[in-house]
């Protein structure tokens, strides 16, 4: 088992043991944690949130409250299609067309009420919301292991709706913050802010963000299953 996997397994187990994870559990996913709403409230106080008009968010449960609040405040939200399996690989949620932000902030609701869009149709993103299994103060993060969050970022760089100055934030429980180093490769996306129910942390790693898609880190089977990669 590689180091990333070991860290994920340890954090998933710890969250289960401490009783800070919500249904349906931690293992194999971005865990929904106790206090996710409070972490969201801490984000909503930040200037980067208040100024943002276009947001890219992960679709996972602990960040649902953020997507809902964004729509209530009139922000446009983009979510990736799971596994980027469509050529129009993002869903656009337009607040002026949505009567039920709570439902629209769920995966099921987003697909029913949102509009599939090609990456070339996406406006310049002001803020990226990422889900995490573990993070450290350096800004290194671990997702659930599929690599899709990093690839979504790389697609954004390729099409120009994300740049190196686009802030990346993650909301997590305190026990998801670790002291040890996390392996970090060229295609990995670091976070600028870690937000918990207790505090807001500005990371200090000053890590370089990916500039483009790196095919050398993608296996051939994954490339075949992601239509947008065939035309880039």
pLDDT of residue 89: 97
Pair 35, 15: CB distance under 8 Å: no
Please give the span between the terminal C-alpha atoms of the chain, in angstroms, as a whole number.
33
Fold of 34-231: Rossmann fold (3.40.50)
Alpha helices in the chain (DSSP H): 3-18, 36-44, 47-51, 64-72, 101-104, 107-113, 148-159, 220-225
Please report, for the chain, the start and end positions of each structural domain, with discontinuous segments joined by +. 34-231
Query: Is residue 122 within 8 Å of 190, Cβ to Cβ?
Result: no
Cα separation, 129 vs 167, whole angstroms:
9
Q: What is the pLDDT of residue 15?
A: 98
Residues 86 and 82: their CA atoms lie apart, in Å, by 9
CA gap 212, 16 in Å, rounded: 36
Nearby residues of 132 by Cβ (< 8 Å), 6 or more positions away: 30, 141, 142, 143, 170, 172, 176, 191
The segments of the chain whose pLDDT lies below 50 read none
* Contact criterion met (CB below 8 Å) for 125 and 160: no
Signed CA dihedral, 41, 163, 55, 219: sign only: negative
What is the reported pLDDT for 1? 56
CA 188 remoteness from chain centre: 12
């Amino acid at each position: 088992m590689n180091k990333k996997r070991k860290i994920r397994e340890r954090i998933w187990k710890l969250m289960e043991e401490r009783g800070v994870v919500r249904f349906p559990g931690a293992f194999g996913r971005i865990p929904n944690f106790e206090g996710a709403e409070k972490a969201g409230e801490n984000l909503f106080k930040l200037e980067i949130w208040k100024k943002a008009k276009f947001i890219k968010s992960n679709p996972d449960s602990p960040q649902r409250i953020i997507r809902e609040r964004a729509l209530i405040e009139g922000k446009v939200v983009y979510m990736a299609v799971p596994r980027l399996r469509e050529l129009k690989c993002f869903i656009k949620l337009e607040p002026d067309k949505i009567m039920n932000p709570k439902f629209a902030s769920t995966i099921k609701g987003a697909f029913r009420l949102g509009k599939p869009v090609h990456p070339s149709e996406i406006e310049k993103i002001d803020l990226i919301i990422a889900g995490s299994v573990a993070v450290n103060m350096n800004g290194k993060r671990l997702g659930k292991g599929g690599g899709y969050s990093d690839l979504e970022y790389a697609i954004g760089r390729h099409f120009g709706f994300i740049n190196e100055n686009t802030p990346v934030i993650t909301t997590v429980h305190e026990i998801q913050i670790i002291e040890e180093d996390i392996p970090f490769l060229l295609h990995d996306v670091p976070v600028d802010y870690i937000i918990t129910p207790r505090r807001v942390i500005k990371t200090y790693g000053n890590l370089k963000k990916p500039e483009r898609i790196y095919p050398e880190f993608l296996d051939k089977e994954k490339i075949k299953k992601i239509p947008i990669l065939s035309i880039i």
